[in-house]
Amino acid sequence: KQEVTQIPAALSVPEGENLVLNCSFTDSAIYNLQWFRQDPGKGLTSLLLIQSSQREQTSGRLNASLDKSSGRSTLYIAASQPGDSATYLCAVRNRGSTLGRLYFGRGTQLTVWP
Amino acid sequence: DVKVTQSSRYLVKRTGEKVFLECVQDMDHENMFWYRQDPGLGLRLIYFSYDVKMKEKGDIPEGYSVSREKKERFSLILESASTNQTSMYLCASSLILDSPLHFGNGTRLTVT
């Protein structure tokens, strides 16, 4: 069964810092990996989707990389802002018979202080 | 933009009641999912559906059922609500299996 781990569980940084969030998964036979953001009491917002054949995806100040063979993905946030404060989750979709489902990490709770 | 709408943001029900949680998406997505999210446990998949009238059990289907009579609507049913079903319920959809997953804003259900 796929296990997804996110380190650190919580991160607090001053505004303006560049930061890296980590995601690791145990089964490298994945279809894709997706990063989400969740604000308190709200649903998840999709940030970036990386297909298994891709190495990275970029959207604005966000860059996500994928190293499938080592079972790792990183989300890089450039020039962090207080509005980036949220919980960030990664999720992987496996190949195989359970093609529809995603496996989620527990998330990294990010606080950016002014 | 994709819109996934959950009918209620907050819901309070009594133990033993039958509870319906409704989810509607407006982008003709094939796949729809119900998750629950609890502190310390993360997101857990209850059921998903990859076509009208088709459904698959997730990790924690006990005590729940689902209905998908139309492509845009996926309902989660708590047959007899219990206090351990107090949780945040999140609906999601995706166009096809390798496209991004889009979530609704969630329904916070309290069973007393």
pLDDT digit string, tens, across residues B14-72: 999 999 999 999 989 999 999 999 988 889 999 999 889 889 999 899 999 999 999 99
Q: Which residue is closest to B99 within chain A, CA to CA?
A: A49
Q: What per-residue confidence (pLDDT) applies to A99?
A: 57
Sequence-separated (6 or more) residues with CB below 8 Å from residue B99: A49
Residues of A in contact with B56 (CB under 8 A): 100
Mean pLDDT of A32-54: 94
B104 and A CB contact within 8 Å: yes
Contact A100 B90 (CB under 8 A): no
For an interface test with A, give the residue of B43, B51, B89, B94 to mutate (most A CBs within 10 A): B43
Strands B10-13 and B31-38 turn out to be unpaired
Q: Which residues of B40-62 are buried (b: 16+ CB within 10 A; e: fewer)?
A: eebbebbbbbbeeeebeebeeee
Return the number of other C-beta atoms located less than 10 Å from residue B38's C-beta.
Answer: 12
Mean pLDDT of A23-33: 93
Of A55, A26, A47, nearest in space to A89 by CA = A47
Q: What per-residue confidence (pLDDT) applies to A102?
A: 86
Residues of B in contact with A42 (CB under 8 A): 105-106
